[in-house]
Amino acid sequence: MNDIAPALMGIAMFATIFGIIYFYLSYRNKERLALIESGADADLFYSKKKKKSTTPFTLSIGLVSIGLAVGITLGFIIEKVLIAVEQPGNPHAEYPQVYFAMIFLFVGIALVKAYQLSRKIEKEDNGEEK
């Protein structure tokens, strides 16, 4: 009996998803037919929005990656060079707090810069349309 339960769950999940999609598409089709029969224009169904560019998203990902790399590198430099110099008796001291602080600092700076640049890009796009 226990071997059948996963198969039944899979079938039930598939049937549920199929049913939701079927009823959604069926209802949408009926609604559109009713609007067309009442004299509505077919262009009503198509969005007139301009597609958004993926530039701000990729810009954010790139800047966060750079911020992460700079944070790790600066954390390593601070931990191995500056702290080891101040504690000459224990050159192998580990301070993971420095890594976390630098990573969060530089990722935060990268996110702020990405936000500023994406706003600048949006303003330029809106200015060109007018």
Confidence of residue 24 (pLDDT cuts 50, 70, 90): very high
The predicted model gives 24-37 an average pLDDT of 87
Counting the structural domains of the chain, the total is 2
Residues 117 and 74 in one domain: yes
Residues 69 and 22 in one domain: no
- The one-letter amino acid at 86: E
The predicted model gives 31-38 an average pLDDT of 84
Looking at the domain assignment, is residue 128 inside a domain?
Answer: no
Answer yes or no: are the C-beta atoms of 83 and 93 closer than 8 Å.
yes
Q: Which two tokens stand for residue 104?
A: 């969060």
For residue 7, is pLDDT > 70? yes
Looking at the domain assignment, is residue 9 inside a domain?
Answer: yes
Looking at the domain assignment, is residue 23 inside a domain?
Answer: yes
**Predicted TM-score of the model (pTM):** 0.50
Residues 77 and 29 in one domain: no
Answer yes or no: are the C-beta atoms of 84 and 53 closer than 8 Å.
no
Residue 116 domain boundaries: 55-123
With CA atoms as reference, report the closest residue to 93 among 77, 103, 80, 75: 80
95-106 pLDDT, tens digit per residue, is: 778 888 888 999
Looking at the domain assignment, is residue 130 inside a domain?
Answer: no
Confidence (pLDDT) at 78: 83
Residues 113 and 84 in one domain: yes
51-94 pLDDT, tens digit per residue, is: 566 677 888 888 889 988 998 888 888 877 776 666 666 655 67
Range from 19-23, 31-35, 43-47 carrying the lowest mean pLDDT: 43-47
For residue 49, is pLDDT > 70? no
What's the rounded Cα separation, in Å, for the pair 34 and 40?
Answer: 9
Residues 66 and 93 in one domain: yes
Residues 87 and 107 in one domain: yes
Residues 39 and 83 in one domain: no
Question: How does DSSP assign 54-117, residue by residue?
Answer: SHHHHHHHHHHHHHHHHHHHHHHHIIIIIIHHH-TT-TT---HHHHHHHHHHHHHHHHHHHHHH
Residues 69 and 105 in one domain: yes
Looking at the domain assignment, is residue 39 inside a domain?
Answer: yes
Looking at the domain assignment, is residue 129 inside a domain?
Answer: no
Q: With the C-alpha atoms ordered 14, 19, 22, 28, is the resulting torsion angle positive or negative?
A: negative
Non-local (6+) Cβ contacts of 101 within 8 A are 75
